[in-house]
Structure 1
């Protein structure tokens, strides 16, 4: 083995040992490019480290989005802002800054079906993942079932600790399905754990005065509304159905095909 080959093998081994996969893959080509460009050592090292850093950042973003358990990917850039309800249009650019997460405030998107509540929530969640926040998406029915299972398996405390640590939890579909007293109490307890400290996005098709229909306890309903709305960002999502508009446009396209 030549001296050059020996050095190359040493570099490969060091990259394996200290876990630098991107540098391991590209350093030989980058050396050739550096020689051709008469690049100094500092610039060459910066280039290598930049590639490793970029790759790790992309991997971390991918993993945060995967662990968030979004049902599908919806990006803010895909939203037709002009088709959102008026209040959402006014607050869109503020929400996009993710300031509410930095401040540990809740965001409640309330309005009739099809107006972009879930799309907006997922879009904000993905953007939060991209900038480094830990996010988890769930629906109210799934969350309640999971909490009940954890209680029966005596793992509820462990679940609570994980639930508290997320920078952002998205709880979708509040109001579509009512639940029993145990479910209401578990939901109240867990959402209260985050109140005033970490952000929660809630999407609901019910106005606040109708929340009693799903909690079935006026005292708990009042307490829940008070906790969740305190210093929260509230967005009125009542408006024309965004999905209905897309369906009509799709049907028109089919007529001309």
Structure 2
């Protein structure tokens, strides 16, 4: 029995067989009922393992869950909007998402949380920092691997780009980033988090036409969530300091 389960790659059946058999005897299940429960347990466990692998493959720097987001601390963020996005309909449609706000307002938390929800729902997700992505594209271009690299980023269902706008990008880097966005346009979703309002993106993308084109790619048909300017992380730190004093 054990070796057969190993050969057939049925780890859940192998480890849970005895316990589920005992339950089946107590509940007087039919052979068909016992077999159905055993196979369903295997299927459920496989789905759970696939979900874990997809979340790990996304490359998130830390775990963030939407359920842990403090909506009371940031009233700028509408819970109904986030719950709607958590359904991942926008990912299925290939629509973009922009999270705009100052540091400490929950942009990265929401970006990672929504990316995690998408991965758990079965979508292929990739997380990266904007500067890391641009550096990778520049290196790929230098090594004549740009087409392959852009295609790789084009295949994921959701590309999460964090910290867009923190550092000025030169024209070459901005143009390469634009190529990635163009590859994904109206096919696969892009979600970005930025500490700059769109009017301030000219400091990141110094070419006005390119800046306008990138904004267009990231906003057309998508959702824009403004997380505000008041850092609730700073507020929590101050509150903790006052409580300790």
Band the TM-score falls in, shorter-chain normalisation: over 0.9
How many equivalent pairs are there?
245
Of 50, 54, 71, which aligns to 2:44? 54
Is the counterpart of residue 145 in structure 1 residue 135 in structure 2?
yes
Is the counterpart of residue 224 in structure 1 residue 196 in structure 2?
no
Q: 2: CA distance between counterparts of 1:78 and 1:138?
A: 22
Per the alignment, do residues 28 and 192 of structure 1 end up closer, same or farther by CA in structure 2, a change over 3 Å counting? same
Per the alignment, residue 32 of structure 1 pairs with 22
Q: 1: CA distance between counterparts of 2:236 and 2:82?
A: 20
User: Which structure is larger by alpha-carbon Rg, 1 or 2?
Assistant: 1
Instruction: Say if 1:85 and 1:115, in contact at 8 Å, map to a contact too.
Output: no
Q: Secondary structure at the match of 2:187?
A: coil
Is the counterpart of residue 200 in structure 1 residue 190 in structure 2?
yes
Q: 2: CA distance between counterparts of 1:93 and 1:200?
A: 18
Per the alignment, residue 224 of structure 2 pairs with 234
Q: Secondary structure at the match of 2:228?
A: coil
Cα-Cα RMSD: 1.6
Q: 1: CA distance between counterparts of 2:218 and 2:56?
A: 27
Per the alignment, residue 110 of structure 2 pairs with 120
State the shift of 1:152 in Å: 2.2
Specify every segment of 5 or more residues in structure 1 that has no aligned partner in the other structure, as ranges: 1-10
TM-score, length-normalised on structure 2? 0.94
Deviation per CA, 1:53-83: give whole Å up to 9, x if none: 1211111111011111101001001111122
Q: 1: CA distance between counterparts of 2:131 and 2:238?
A: 30
Per the alignment, do residues 250 and 48 of structure 1 end up closer, same or farther by CA in structure 2, a change over 3 Å counting? same
Specify every segment of 5 or more residues in structure 2 that has no aligned partner in the other structure, as ranges: none
- Greater Cα offset, 165-174 or 21-30: 21-30
Q: Secondary structure at the match of 1:211?
A: helix
Is the counterpart of residue 91 in structure 1 residue 63 in structure 2?
no
State the shift of 1:85 in Å: 4.4
State the shift of 1:47 in Å: 1.3
Is the counterpart of residue 65 in structure 1 residue 61 in structure 2?
no
State the shift of 1:87 in Å: 5.1
Per the alignment, residue 200 of structure 2 pairs with 210
